């Protein structure tokens, strides 16, 4: 159970770190490809707007001139013939087209005369209703040559991230989760199998990985040192294990051996194994100890 909890915590930390990493990449390092995609989407949408404005003039033959990218986030729509513009139509057509293309909600539209560049009409749209400014919606602009400039408020990074970063984040994390699952499933199964392994010791079942002995329904807990000693004895039944070998494997390799620690732990093990008369921890005077198992 503890092992499973630790693995879950590690995975939460791993996936959380990956999510933050991907988010930061998406916010601070937008790709050029994303910027180009945004620009292409805007140009397609503006051409659609131009076509619909001509159709409101019952003009199906005039051309929408090539869309110009004036500067970052600023684009120009123009026509090869004169037309009249009704502001309410401009507002509704632009809004509908932008929504269909999932373009940002924050933008300004400026309608100017071709000759003198004087502003004939303008308005500002915002996702915040209080910041939206639309005026003169009922006044029709007379037939003339117009250019319409569109400026998106913000930057391509925020625009693109707002639409795409959550999807990218989800997909990236999903791939990592699947990869991690496939990579670690065998390893976890192996570890769990090892933890569930038991060694038969007389009438006891010995679980080295869980530091315990079990007899019938009674469970006997072992300290780490007791478990290490018993593991050595079980691996070498009915064989004399020298004192030096025991102290070296259990104490000296992990720290300093002090006094009669070995004898103390052997005594504790004898008490925990006393319920099975077929098992004895015998002291071989001057040499070491032997785990005697009478089968």
What is the spatial order of strands in the sheet that 288-293 belongs to? 240-242, 288-293, 279-284
Domain boundaries, the chain: 2-28+160-195, 32-154, 199-293
Q: State the DSSP H helix or E strand holding residue 164, giving kind and residue range, or none if neither.
A: helix 156-196
Rounded alpha-carbon distances, angstroms, from residue 84 to 23, 146, 149: 46, 9, 16
- Dihedral, CA atoms, 48, 52, 53, 56, nearest 10 degrees? 180
Beta bridge partners of 283: 289
**Spacing of C-alpha 227 from chain mean position:** 40
**Paired sense of beta strands 68-71 and 146-152, if any:** unpaired
State the Cα–Cα distance between residues 119 and 110, nearest whole angstrom.
7
DSSP secondary structure string for all residues of 57-69? TT-SSSPBPPPEE
Write down the pLDDT at residue 9. Answer: 56
What are 279's strand-pairing partners? 293
Contacts 24+ apart (CB under 8 A), 170-179: 172/18, 172/22, 173/15, 173/18, 173/19, 173/22, 176/14, 176/15, 176/18, 177/15
> In Å, how far from its chain's centre is CA 275?
53
Helices (H) and strands (E) in the chain, counts: 7, 14
Q: Are 61 and 29 in contact (CB under 8 A)?
A: no
- What pLDDT, on the 0 to 100 scale, is given for residue 2? 43
* Distant-in-sequence, close-in-space partners of 241: CB < 8 Å, separation ≥ 6: 232, 233, 288, 289, 290, 291
Q: Which residues contact 106 (CB under 8 A, 6 or more apart)?
A: 125, 126, 127, 152, 153, 154
- Determine if the pTM surpasses 0.75: no
Res 1: pLDDT: 45
- Name the CATH architecture for the domain at 199-293: Orthogonal Bundle (1.10)
pLDDT value for 50: 96
Task: Give the number of C-alpha atoms closer than 13 A to the C-alpha of residue 178, restricted to the C-beta side.
Answer: 6
pLDDT of residue 250: 85
Provide the β-strand partners of residue 113: 146
Burial class (CB in 10 A: 0-12, 13-18, 19+), 158: middle
Q: Mean pLDDT by 10-residue block, N- to C-terminus, for the chain (295 residues)? A: 51 62 56 75 96 95 94 94 93 94 92 94 85 74 95 66 60 71 67 66 82 81 89 90 88 64 88 88 90 83
pLDDT of residue 153: 87
């Amino acid at each position: 159970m503890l092992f499973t909890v630790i693995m879950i915590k590690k995975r939460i930390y791993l996936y959380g770190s990956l999510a933050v990493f991907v988010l930061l990449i998406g916010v601070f390092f937008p790709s050029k490809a994303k910027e180009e995609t945004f620009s292409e989407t805007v140009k397609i949408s503006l051409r659609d707007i131009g076509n619909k404005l001509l159709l409101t003039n019952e003009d199906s033959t005039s051309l929408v001139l090539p869309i110009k990218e004036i500067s970052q986030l600023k684009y120009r729509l123009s026509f090869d013939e004169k037309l009249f513009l009704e502001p309410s139509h401009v507002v509704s057509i632009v809004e509908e087209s932008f929504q269909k293309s999932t373009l940002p909600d924050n933008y300004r539209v400026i309608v100017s005369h071709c000759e003198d560049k004087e502003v004939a009409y303008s308005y500002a749209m915002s996702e915040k209703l209080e910041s939206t400014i639309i005026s003169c919606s009922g006044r029709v602009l007379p037939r003339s040559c117009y250019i319409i400039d569109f400026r998106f408020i913000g930057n391509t990074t925020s625009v693109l991230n707002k639409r795409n970063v959550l999807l990218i984040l989800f997909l990236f994390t999903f791939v990592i989760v699947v990869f991690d699952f496939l990579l670690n499933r065998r390893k976890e199964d192996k570890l769990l199998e090892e933890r569930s392994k038991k060694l038969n010791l007389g009438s006891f079942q010995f679980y080295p990985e869980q530091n315990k002995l079990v007899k019938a329904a009674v469970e006997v807990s072992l300290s780490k040192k007791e478990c290490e000693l018993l593991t050595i004895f079980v691996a070498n039944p009915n064989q004399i294990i020298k004192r030096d070998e025991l102290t070296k494997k259990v104490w000296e390799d992990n720290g300093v051996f002090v006094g009669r620690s070995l004898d103390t732990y052997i005594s504790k093990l004898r008490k925990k194994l006393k319920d099975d008369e077929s098992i004895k921890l015998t002291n071989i005077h001057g040499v070491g100890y032997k785990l005697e198992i009478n089968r």
